[in-house]
Amino acid sequence: MRQQAIDHRTGGIGRHDRQHEIAGSDLGQWRFAKAGFDSTRNARPAAPFEQHQHLRSLVLQQRADSRAHHPATDNANPHDCSFPLHLCVDNLRCFAHPHAMTSVIDSHLLIASRDLARFPLAAGVDPAEIEGSPGRREINALLDGRELAGAVLVQRGRQYGYDNALICAAAAADPRLRAVCAVDGRSDDCGDVARDLLARPGVVGLRLMEPEKGASLDWLCGPGARDAWRAAADAGAVMDVHVFPWNRLAGLEELEKLLAEYSGLRVVLDNLGNPALEDGPPDFGVDDALVRVAGHRQVTLKVSAMSFARASKAELEPAALLEAMVARFGASRLCWGSDVLLGGATPESAIAEARQAAAGLSDKDAAMVLSSTARALFDLD
């Protein structure tokens, strides 16, 4: 029965002669590789490029075997045959893990540009900081290759400050992208800036975050910030709020007041509101302050690669964290985003990690966390 499934899903691999199907052991190793692990090397992380090349070599070998036994399918190109490579690769993804075919939307994708003349970095930022960061070309490859069904570009405050030109240009150029722009809640013209940004194509939200450690909460609830809240409410946009561990209790207290004031405004809270995830199960640091904020149905909690990294650092399984959050708040109240990629991680490895973390969820819940919640929240058609 399993061979029949392989034949059907690969659209031709092994369809003519079962002895030429990709070996089950190779498929087993590929399952681990696609999830970011090498099963032959004690689960050591495998490079995404090596994973792709290994899978490609398997498919090309299958093509050669098929041509040898069925010359009628031969073509002038030795790497071509009666079925295209990208379809083989896409269909083989069904073996990676239970939700490998579930679409993914990255709700917190950070990009950079090497065109420093058009998109200059903030004063004092070393260009070396953006080395290795994904740009438009890399993101397009993920979208075109269907690794991502869409993405929300969130402003990189540290590198670009409040100059949202890069993400606005990207979102305007590609209907698969949306932009969430950073605004300075302390500035007198914050409301005007917010309205201008929200009028741009592809911009669906605003982001508020502490500008420097120890700053007053004016960035969140001062006069300028309140103008931004009103602008977002008037535009039917999303307000993205980030609190750090050191200001979360005061920040969540003020946020709760704002939620009551702007009860119709959709709000997303980054990194699950930064609870003490290291506390582990069953609550993973979820406290009364977070429960009160999440009690407002307009709030969505964003779980990120940073959330998973904190859990892993505390020797906790990201899957256990995600399952606990789904059990506590419901999958429809959670969305996944990559955010800052640590330790040499890439967008591809972050996507694989998210799928792996969702492996224990039901199909419906996994789809919610990985794509459906973000699709509805950020108006991604």
pLDDT of residue 108: 98
Per-residue confidence (pLDDT) for residue 99, from 0 to 100: 66
pLDDT of residue 331: 98
The confidence band for 365, taking pLDDT boundaries of 50, 70 and 90, is very high
- The pLDDT score that the predictor gives to residue 85 is 40
Q: Please, what is the average pLDDT of the chain?
A: 81
What is 8-73 written as a DSSP string?
A: HHTTSTTTS-GGGSPPHHHHHHHHHHHTTEETTTTTEE--HHHHHHHHHHHHHHHHHHHHHH-GGG
Q: How far apart are CA 296 and CA 347, in angstroms?
A: 31
State the amino acid at position 301 in one-letter form.
Answer: L
pLDDT at 381: 79
Is 249 within 8 Å of 283 (Cβ atoms)? Answer: no
pLDDT at 86 over 80: no
Q: What angle do CA 27, 29, 32 make, to 5 degrees?
A: 110
The model's pLDDT over 127-185, given as tens digits with 9 standing for 90+, comes to: 999 998 999 999 999 999 999 999 999 999 999 999 999 999 999 999 999 999 999 99
Average pLDDT score over residue span 194-210 = 98
Tokens (6 digits) for 197? 């940004």
Instruction: Indicate whether 290 pLDDT > 70.
Output: yes
Share of the chain above pLDDT 70, in %: 73
Judged against a pLDDT cut of 60, whether residue 3 lies above it is answered with no
Residue 223 predicted with pLDDT over 70 = yes
| Residue-level pLDDT at 132 | 87
pLDDT reported for residue 330: 98
Task: Output the six-digit token pair for 98.
Answer: 């239970």
Instruction: Give 299-334 pLDDT, tens digit per residue.
Output: 999 999 999 999 999 999 999 999 999 999 999 999
How many Å apart are CA 12 and CA 82, to the nearest integer? Answer: 8
What pLDDT, on the 0 to 100 scale, is given for residue 344?
83
Domains and CATH numbers, the chain: 2-95 (no CATH), 105-377 (3.20.20.140)
Give the pLDDT of residue 102. Answer: 79
Is pLDDT above 60 for 21? no
pLDDT greater than 50 at residue 20: no
With tokens 């992208």, the residue in question is: 177
| pLDDT computed for residue 256 by the predictor | 98
Q: What digits encode the pLDDT tens for the residues 34-62?
A: 333 333 333 334 444 444 444 445 444 55
> What share of the chain has pLDDT > 90, as a percent?
71
Decide if pLDDT at 93 tops 90.
no
Residue 350 has pLDDT above 80, yes or no: yes
Per-residue model confidence (pLDDT) at position 64: 53
- For the entire predicted model, the pTM comes to 0.76
Give 227-267 pLDDT, tens digit per residue.
999 999 999 999 999 999 999 999 999 999 999 999 999 99
Residue 92 has pLDDT above 90, yes or no: no
**Is 379 in a helix, a strand, or coil?**
coil
pLDDT of residue 61: 55
What is 121-187 written as a DSSP string?
PPTT--GGGGTT---HHHHHHHHHTTS-SEEEEE--HHHHTT--HHHHHHHHH-TTEEEEEE--TTS
